[in-house]
Amino acid sequence: MSLNDLIRLRSLKSRLIVWVFMPIALIVAVDLVGTYHSTEQIATTIQQQLLHGSAKMISEQLVFSDGGYEISVPPAAFELFENKFQDHVYFSVRSKDGKLIAGDDELAAYEESLPIEEERYFVARLHGEVVRVIVFAHALPDSSTGDYAITQVAQTLLSHENFREGLFFSAIGRHLLLLAITIASLVISLKWTLSPLKEFSRELLQRQSGSLEKLDGYNAPSELDPVIRALNEYVERLNRTLSSYEKFVANTAHHLRTSFAIIASQINFAKRAKVHDQVQREVLDAIQKTLGDCTKVINQLLVLASIEQQDAASADDVQISEIIMAVIDEMAPLAYQKHIELGIDVFDDSVRVAAPARLLHELIANLIDNAIVHMGKAGEVVISLRRQTDHVLLSVTDDGVGIPPALQQKVLERFFRIDESRAGSSGLGLAIVKEICDRLKAQLSLHTPASGAGLQVDIRFPLSVKAN
Amino acid sequence: MKLLLVEDNRELSSWLTKLLIQSGYAVEQAFTGEEASQFLLTQSYNAILLDLMLPGIKGQTLLKQIRSKNNDVPVLIISAQDKLQDIIEHLNLGADDYLAKPFDIKELEARLRSLLRRASGKTNPVLSCGALHYDTNSKLFSCAGTVLALTPREHAVLEALIRFPGKTVAKKDLVDSLFTLEDTVSVKALEIYIVRLRKKIENSGAKIITLRGLGYMLTYVAE
């Protein structure tokens, strides 16, 4: 999947992931902000309670004696704060006019008014550290004057922060676990849910390229039903189009062949007439030859039109040597006319190839015809057939003018001719060979033979599974 | 010889008729399957030339009708369809031969002659290739009316070739045909006989073609 696809959410997977994962992530984020605040609150409340307990314990020890106040601070008031974080704790007890009775002077007197038996909390700086401070007003014992003392206890924030962080990190941990479980189950469920889709596309890919059978969706999930229905409708339309195309080809073929048959009879009739001068005879021969060339092109075009229609599945398991022999018999007179010796070299006549016999015949006929027509001089055309480890190799070699390497791919195109003026060439022969090879999954290669002159065409057929 | 030509294309029908009449046949033309059916009720023919794509009753249906009435008149199909399965299907339905359009009149007439010969029950004792003929009764080769003077070995080789005109005959088979005449036949000797034969038949249109690695073929090659 490319980044572009991801951005445009081309894939169902990314859509699902985005639309399930994103909201969950958002909820988690919002919840984490709330959790942060509540952990701060919890930690602060706990520290305040400790401060409150300590302040109460200290102030309760305040006694009036000898006209002044005395206090003996109990160790328990500081033991309350004991923990591994080694927080600094400070305290001060002052009279209502701000006179320090006991404790640290650095804890400044509380300036604002404070009702008796009430406390205030605030945060201040002491010795360069941030501390939370409790201010507690405590009515003095044995005092009828409404006198009171102000106790302050301060603690640095180390344990408070550690406690808060502990709470928060454990919350983050739980949230991450939740997200991980969500992603994992998303991935698993997507894989599981989308597997029929994959299976379906694999089945589609495995179909024969010419297959116009309808799909049956009996084991596909119901969500695919509309897709299968649409595909089937498309197949039906394609089928109708193809059959009208086939009809068109058949009608054209019928019409052209009938017309050519008329012209052939007319020429035959004219040639049989008694009165002829030399020119007339030459013209009639020329027309007859042109008619032969036209017939060849029409037949080649019809072969091209029918290659796609040929059902490769109906492949016969054929002894290819028999077809080669039949083609050699057909081609021998043409080769003789062009002073070309036709023959075989290494020839394993036991090999079999799985292919429709008609296609093989067209393939070999066009191959040999092409070699004969394009020799350009007297020479030889040699056919060899051998079995190699994993294929059957058919080679047709001539010692003619050859094809320059730069044009060896070009000549496989329909109607491409190196020499436009050459008679008997339609520019279709090798195109037919190429297209039939593609249809039969055979490999076609053109090169200059070892002798250095001419053309060698190699065709490698897959071995027939049944035989060989 | 009376022929029924069933062909819906009037132009083709008329030209073929002219050619066949020129060659000495009597020709009745039918342009539809129905017409042909009518003719067949009252007339009898020596052979039928049948197109397949007809308006109305198709050629195939007509062929089935003819054969279902135990009429074994020779039927030569002339059709624009040249697919192997079409040919096999119609031969199986009882057609005697099949010729794809467009065809050369010489081929049509050759096939017609062979059909008529078979129907008359006489197997022609004469084998031909171009203007070269071999009378299997008199064992004589002739070229345009002149008897060819051949040695027994040349005769044996040419006879082996003319039995399969247009087909490759393996060297081994040719050597075997000479075996009764001499005890040791070398391929070299065979090549010499072939060279001599080529010279002797050079005006007949029939040629002996060498197929390297395979053998020889006697066939007609247009000049």
Which residue on chain B is closest to A292 by alpha carbon? B102
Instruction: Identify the domain boundary among A307, A328, A347.
Output: A307
A57 found inside a domain? no
A381 found inside a domain? yes
**Over residues A49-67, mean pLDDT:** 85
Chain B environment of A325 (Cβ under 8 Å): 168, 214
Are A343 and B213 within 8 A, CB to CB? yes
Closest by alpha carbon to B33, among B13, B60, B12?
B60
Are B209 and A333 within 8 A, CB to CB? yes
Q: Which of A101-110, B68-77, B164-173 has the lowest mean pLDDT?
A: A101-110
Would you state the structure tokens that stand for residue A412, as one six-digit string? 């496989």
Q: CATH number of the domain that B80 lies in?
A: 3.40.50.2300
User: Best-predicted range by mean pLDDT among A301-305, A309-313, B64-68, B122-126?
Assistant: B64-68
Please list, in sequence order, all residues whose beta carbon lies within 8 angstroms of the beta carbon of residue A99, skipping any fewer than 6 positions away. Answer: none
Q: Which of A49-53, A124-128, B106-110, B185-189 has the lowest mean pLDDT?
A: B185-189
* Rg of chain B (C-alpha set): 21
Q: Are residues B32 and B80 in the same domain?
A: yes
Q: CATH number of the domain that B131 lies in?
A: 1.10.10.10
Beta carbons of A265 and A284 less than 8 angstroms apart: no
Q: Are residues A318 and A456 in the same domain?
A: yes
Rounded to whole angstroms, the Cα distance separating A426 from B54 reads: 32
Instruction: Identify the domain boundary among A307, A325, A343.
Output: A307
Are B212 and A265 within 8 A, CB to CB? no
Are B214 and A269 within 8 A, CB to CB? no
For B29-40, write each residue's pLDDT tens digit: 999 999 999 999
Q: Are residues A253 and A385 in the same domain?
A: no
Q: Are residues B65 and B150 in the same domain?
A: no
Measured in angstroms, the CA of A216 and the nearest CA of chain B are apart by: 31
The larger pLDDT score, comparing residue A276 to residue A152, is at A152
**Over residues A236-259, mean pLDDT:** 84
**Over residues A143-151, mean pLDDT:** 75
**Over residues B175-200, mean pLDDT:** 83
Q: pLDDT class for A209, splitting at 50, 70, 90?
A: low
**DSSP letter (8 states) at residue B186:** -
Q: Are residues A233 and A336 in the same domain?
A: no
Chain A environment of B11 (Cβ under 8 Å): 262
Closest by alpha carbon to B84, among A246, A357, A299?
A357
Q: Are residues A261 and A380 in the same domain?
A: no
* Rg of chain A (C-alpha set): 50
Predicted complex ipTM: 0.77
Per the listing, tokens 């010692």 go with A399
A77 found inside a domain? no
**Over residues B165-172, mean pLDDT:** 90
pLDDT at B123: 65
Q: How far apart are the first and last CA of chain A?
A: 44
pLDDT at A44: 93
Q: Which of A197-201, A205-209, A243-247 has the lowest mean pLDDT?
A: A205-209
For A369-379, write each residue's pLDDT tens digit: 999 988 878 89
Find the domain containing A294 and state its range: 227-307
Q: What is the 3-state secondary structure (H, E, C) of chain A?
A: CCHHHHHCCCCHHHHHHHHHHHHHHHHHHHHHHHHHHHHHHHHHHHHHHHHHHHHHHHHHCEEEECCEEEECCCCHHHHCCCCCCCCCEEEEEEECCCCEEEECCCCCCCCCCCCCCCEEEEEEEECCEEEEEEEEEEECCCCCCCCEEEEEEEEECHHHHHHHHHHHHHHHHHHHHHHHHHHHHHHHHHHHHHHHHHHHHHHHHHCCCCCCCCCCCCCCCHHHHHHHHHHHHHHHHHHHHHHHHHHHHHHHHHHHHHHHHHHHHHHHHHHHCCCCCHHHHHHHHHHHHHHHHHHHHHHHHHHHHHHCCCCHHHCEEEEHHHHHHHHHHHHHHHHHHCCEEEEEEEECCCCEEEECHHHHHHHHHHHHHHHHHHCCCCEEEEEEEEEECCEEEEEEEECCCCCCHHHCCHHHCCCCCCCCCCCCCCCCHHHHHHHHHHHCCCEEEEECCCCCCCEEEEEEEECCCCCC
Work out how many domains chain B is built from and give that number.
2
Instruction: Identify the domain boundary among B86, B104, B119.
Output: B119
pLDDT at B6: 95
For CA atoms B14, B18, B20, B26, the dihedral sign is positive
Q: Are residues A394 and A433 in the same domain?
A: yes
Q: Which residues of A touch B (CB under 8 A)?
A: 250, 253-254, 257-258, 260-266, 268-269, 272, 291, 295, 299, 325, 328-329, 332-333, 335-337, 341-345, 347, 357-358, 380, 382
Are B84 and A357 within 8 A, CB to CB? yes
* Facing residue for A253 by CB, picked from B80, B214, B222: B80
**Over residues A14-24, mean pLDDT:** 83
Instruction: Identify the domain boundary among B119, B139, B157.
Output: B119
For A420-467, write each residue's pLDDT tens digit: 666 667 788 899 999 999 888 899 999 899 888 899 999 999 987 654
* Facing residue for A337 by CB, picked from B84, B210, B221: B221
Contact status of B191 with chain A (Cβ, < 8 Å)? no
How does the average pLDDT of chain B come out, rounded?
Answer: 88
pLDDT at B38: 92
Q: pLDDT class for A468, splitting at 50, 70, 90?
A: very low
pLDDT at A144: 61
For B74-111, write each residue's pLDDT tens digit: 999 998 877 777 788 888 888 999 998 888 888 899 88
Q: Are residues B96 and B131 in the same domain?
A: no
Q: pLDDT class for A312, splitting at 50, 70, 90?
A: low
Q: Are residues A317 and A291 in the same domain?
A: no
Instruction: Identify the domain boundary among A279, A307, A335.
Output: A307
Q: Are residues A279 and A326 in the same domain?
A: no
Measured in angstroms, the CA of A318 and the nearest CA of chain B are apart by: 15
Please list, in sequence order, all residues whose beta carbon lies within 8 angstroms of the beta carbon of residue A6, skipping any fewer than 6 positions away. Answer: A14
Which residues, listed in sequence order, are joined to residue A398 by a DSSP beta bridge? A381, A455
Instruction: Provide the percentage of residues in chain A whose pLDDT is more than 70.
Output: 91
Q: Are residues B115 and B11 in the same domain?
A: yes
Beta carbons of B84 and A358 less than 8 angstroms apart: yes
Rounded to whole angstroms, the Cα distance separating A354 from A350 reads: 13
Q: pLDDT class for A387, splitting at 50, 70, 90?
A: very high
Q: pLDDT class for B12, splitting at 50, 70, 90?
A: very high
Work out how many domains chain A is built from and give that number.
2
For A328-354, write each residue's pLDDT tens digit: 999 999 999 899 999 999 889 888 888
Q: Are residues B21 and B96 in the same domain?
A: yes
Instruction: Identify the domain boundary among B69, B84, B119.
Output: B119
A143 found inside a domain? no
**Over residues B100-123, mean pLDDT:** 83
Question: For the whole prediction, is pTM greater than 0.80?
Answer: no
Are B15 and A262 within 8 A, CB to CB? yes
Q: Are residues A322 and A458 in the same domain?
A: yes
Find the domain containing B95 and state its range: 2-119
How does the average pLDDT of chain A come out, rounded?
Answer: 85
Residue window 21-50, chain B: list those with CB within 8 Å of chain A. Answer: 22
Q: Are residues B19 and B58 in the same domain?
A: yes
Q: Are residues A333 and A456 in the same domain?
A: yes
Q: Are residues B98 and B144 in the same domain?
A: no
Predicted confidence (pLDDT) at residue A211 exceeds the cutoff of 70: no
Measured in angstroms, the CA of A342 and the nearest CA of chain B are apart by: 5
A456 found inside a domain? yes
Rounded to whole angstroms, the Cα distance separating B134 from B159 reads: 8
Q: Are residues A295 and A390 in the same domain?
A: no
Q: CATH number of the domain that A346 lies in?
A: 3.30.565.10
